[in-house]
Structure 1
């Protein structure tokens, strides 16, 4: 946690860091008020993105979580190219390509920005969801 804000951040740069990234996201999401089941979904989404970072870019990445009124925001930042949203889930026989489709299907919102050689994927989870 940094400063007086409810803001958590960590960096990762090797495959061995992925377990720590997942534990960090899960714990931080809980501290920020995300219910357990939704924190599990956020952890899955970040794991998919962090794995993509390590497989397709150089230099690793960062994960940053913060709470705003009614929602939790999670940024996954790396030096990779801009990603396209709106992907279809690949056919069952395809070996790869499900990561972003999974992320989009389990998050309340997903946004992507690219600036100064960095790409930021912003995941939004509402803190209170109607049953």
Structure 2
């Protein structure tokens, strides 16, 4: 997983009231970087799912960064939580929870995750 550029746009979030600002930030950055409108909506849903999970399950906030490189848009969501269980099947219709990460994987062209000092990084990638 390559390093993100030092000058990539980013913001932190720490409480539920920040989630709206995160969605707006991600949508504005994606638009400025040339992601088509329908893909901006999908990226916003994916980031919203990850950041909401941060607040519900990790007991803290996180940081979001967005940039483009070589025809791709990247979005990193870094938080203090543990590794994410990507690669699972979509839960059955009667399941109460558990669809979020499966949806993130289906929305994005690729999803990578790695443990970083103090938590976990999830990198979303969409083709511009």
Q: Tell me which interval the TM-score lies in, with the shorter structure as reference length.
A: over 0.9
Structure 1 ranges of 4+ moved more than 6 A: none
Determine helix, strand or coil for the equivalent of 1:55: helix
User: Aligned pair in 2 of structure 1 residues 13, 4: CA closer, same or farther (>3 Å)?
Assistant: closer
Aligned to 1:117: 118
Deviation of 1:4 after TM superposition, in Å, equals 9.3
Structure 2 equivalent of residue 107 of structure 1: 108
The correspondence of residues 85-104 of structure 1 with structure 2, limited to 5 A, is 85-104=86-105
Q: Secondary structure at the match of 1:30?
A: helix
Between the aligned partners of 1:111 and 1:31, the Cα distance in structure 2 is 23
Give the corresponding residue for 1:61: 62
Q: Give the total of aligned pairs.
A: 124
Question: In the alignment, is residue 70 of structure 1 matched against residue 71 of structure 2?
Answer: yes
**Structure 2 unaligned regions, length at least 5:** none
CA RMSD of aligned residues (A): 1.5
Tell me, in whole angstroms, the C-alpha distance in 2 between the residues paired with 1:10 and 1:51.
15
Q: Cα offset for 1:116? A: 1.8
Shift of 1:59: 2.1
Match in the other structure for 2:12: 11
Q: CA deviation at 1:58?
A: 2.0
Gapped regions of structure 1 (runs ≥ 5)? none
Q: Secondary structure of 1:122's partner?
A: strand
